[in-house]
C-alpha cells in the first residue's frame, strides 16, 4: 500500500507539471503574435500551464520558419521597424522561449528555465522583441543574463525590463540595504534607457509642469534620474561617500529635469534632493543611520512608465 501511495503521489506531481490539453485553451487566429500576447498575459497572471500551452503552440507552428530565418542571418536587423518585424517568426519563437524561461524560473523549475534560455541563445540569437513603448530588445541577451544569474545563484528580477519595474526593485533593495542589488537594477536601467533619458533632458529648458500625464511622458528621464538618486542614497547609507557623490553629481549634471512621483500625490525633484545631500556630504555633515533609513522609507516612491 505504501508503494502504491508513493506511485500515485509521483504520478500526480507529474500531471501537475504538464500543461492542460491544448483544447482547453483559446488560440484565437493562431497567429504567432496572438499566441505571444496570450502567453505574456498568462505569465503576468502566474498561470504556468497556460504559458506552456501558448508558447508550445507558437514553437510547434512557427519553429521551423524561425530557424530558417536565423540561418540566413549574420547580424541583427537594423533600420526601419518594419525590417525587424519582417523576421516575425524568429522574433516570436524566441520570445516564446523567453516567456517559458520566465515562467519556469518563477515556478522554481531552474533546470527547465535554463533549457528554455539556452534554446534562445543556441537557435534564435538574432531575434528581437518589440516593446509597445517603442523599441526592440534582444531575447538572447536577456537569456544570457538570466542564465548567468541562475548559474551564480544570484536572484535578480528584471521582470519585463521596463524602467519603472527596475526602479521599483531598486527602491526595495535600498530599503533592504542591499547595495549589490541596487547597483544591478540601476545599472540595467541606465544600460537600457540612459540614451532615451538624455534625449528627453536635451529637449527641455525647464521642468515639465502642465499636468501629471505630461510629466509621466518623460518616463525614461524620470526613472534614470530617480535610479541615480537611489544609488547615491544607498552608497551614502553604506558609508561610501565618494561613490555617493559621483551618483549625485551625475544626476545633477545629466538628468536635472527628472521628477519622481510620490504615491501620496505629488512629484519631487531628484536633482534638487541630490544637491541637498551632496552639500551635506561636501560639508562633512554626518547623518544618523536611523535618520537615513527613515529618509529612505519616506523617499521610496516610484515613477510611472
User: For the chain, what is the mean pLDDT?
Assistant: 86
Residue 161: what pLDDT?
Answer: 77
The pLDDT tens digits of the residues spanning 237-273 come to 999 999 999 999 999 999 999 999 998 889 999 999 9
Among 119-123, 154-158, 232-236, the minimum mean pLDDT is found in: 154-158
Tell me, what's the pLDDT at 99? 96
Handedness of CA 245, 250, 256, 259 (dihedral sign): negative
Average pLDDT over residues 216-243: 96
- DSSP string over 105-144: HHTT-HHHHHHHHHHHHHH-TT--EEETTTEEE-HHHHHH
Which has the minimum average pLDDT: 15-29, 138-152, 181-195, 230-244? Answer: 15-29
Report the phi/psi class of residue 177: left, alpha or beta, with left for phi > 0 and alpha for psi in -120 to 50. left
- Tell me what the mean pLDDT of segment 127-153 comes to: 86
- Tell me the CA distances in angstroms from 26 to 34, 101, 178, one per residue in order: 10, 22, 43
Question: What pLDDT does residue 22 have?
Answer: 56
What's the per-residue H, E or C state across 28-47?
CCCCHHHHHHHHHHHHHHCC
Instruction: Give the number of other CB atoms < 10 A from CB of residue 75.
Output: 6
Strand-pairing partners, residue 266, are: 262
Q: What is the mean pLDDT of residues 50-66?
A: 97
> Which residue would you say has higher pLDDT here, 130 or 288?
130
Q: What is the pTM of this model?
A: 0.62
User: In a 3-state reduction of DSSP, which class is residue 262?
Assistant: strand
Task: Inform me whether the pLDDT recorded for 295 exceeds 60.
Answer: no
pLDDT tens-place string over residues 114-137: 999 999 999 999 999 998 877 888
Mean pLDDT of 216-242: 95
Whether residue 41 has pLDDT greater than 50: yes
For 71-96, write each residue's pLDDT tens digit. Answer: 989 999 999 999 999 999 999 999 99
Please give the average per-residue pLDDT across 206-232, as a whole number. 94
Amino acid at each position: 500500500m505504501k508503494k502504491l501511495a508513493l506511485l500515485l503521489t509521483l504520478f500526480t506531481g507529474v500531471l501537475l507539471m504538464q500543461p492542460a490539453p491544448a483544447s482547453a485553451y483559446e488560440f484565437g487566429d493562431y497567429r504567432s503574435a496572438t499566441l505571444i500576447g496570450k502567453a505574456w498575459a498568462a505569465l503576468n497572471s502566474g498561470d504556468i500551464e497556460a504559458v506552456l500551452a501558448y508558447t508550445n503552440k507558437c514553437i510547434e507552428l512557427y519553429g521551423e520558419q524561425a530557424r530558417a530565418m536565423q540561418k540566413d542571418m549574420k547580424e541583427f536587423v537594423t533600420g526601419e521597424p518594419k525590417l525587424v518585424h519582417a523576421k516575425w517568426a524568429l522574433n516570436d519563437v524566441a520570445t516564446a522561449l523567453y516567456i517559458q524561461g520566465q515562467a519556469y524560473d518563477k515556478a522554481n523549475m531552474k533546470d527547465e528555465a535554463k533549457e528554455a534560455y539556452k534554446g534562445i541563445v543556441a537557435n534564435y540569437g538574432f531575434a528581437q522583441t518589440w516593446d509597445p513603448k517603442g523599441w526592440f530588445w534582444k531575447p538572447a541577451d536577456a537569456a544570457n543574463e538570466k542564465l548567468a544569474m541562475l548559474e551564480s545563484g544570484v536572484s535578480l528580477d528584471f521582470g519585463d525590463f521596463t524602467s519603472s519595474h527596475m526602479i521599483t526593485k531598486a527602491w526595495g533593495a535600498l530599503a533592504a540595504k542591499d547595495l549589490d542589488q541596487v547597483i544591478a537594477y540601476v545599472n540595467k536601467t541606465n544600460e537600457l534607457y540612459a540614451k532615451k533619458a538624455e534625449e528627453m533632458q536635451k529637449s527641455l529648458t525647464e521642468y515639465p509642469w502642465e499636468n501629471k500625464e505630461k510629466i509621466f511622458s518623460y518616463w525614461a528621464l524620470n526613472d534614470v534620474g530617480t535610479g541615480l538618486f537611489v544609488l547615491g542614497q544607498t552608497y551614502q547609507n553604506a558609508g561610501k561617500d565618494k561613490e555617493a557623490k559621483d551618483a549625485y553629481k551625475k544626476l545633477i549634471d545629466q538628468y536635472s529635469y527628472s521628477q519622481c512621483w510620490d504615491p501620496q500625490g505629488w512629484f519631487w525633484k531628484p536633482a534638487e534632493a541630490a544637491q541637498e545631500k551632496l552639500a551635506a556630504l561636501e560639508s562633512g555633515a554626518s547623518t544618523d543611520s536611523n535618520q537615513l533609513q527613515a529618509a529612505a522609507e519616506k523617499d521610496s516612491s516610484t515613477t510611472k512608465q
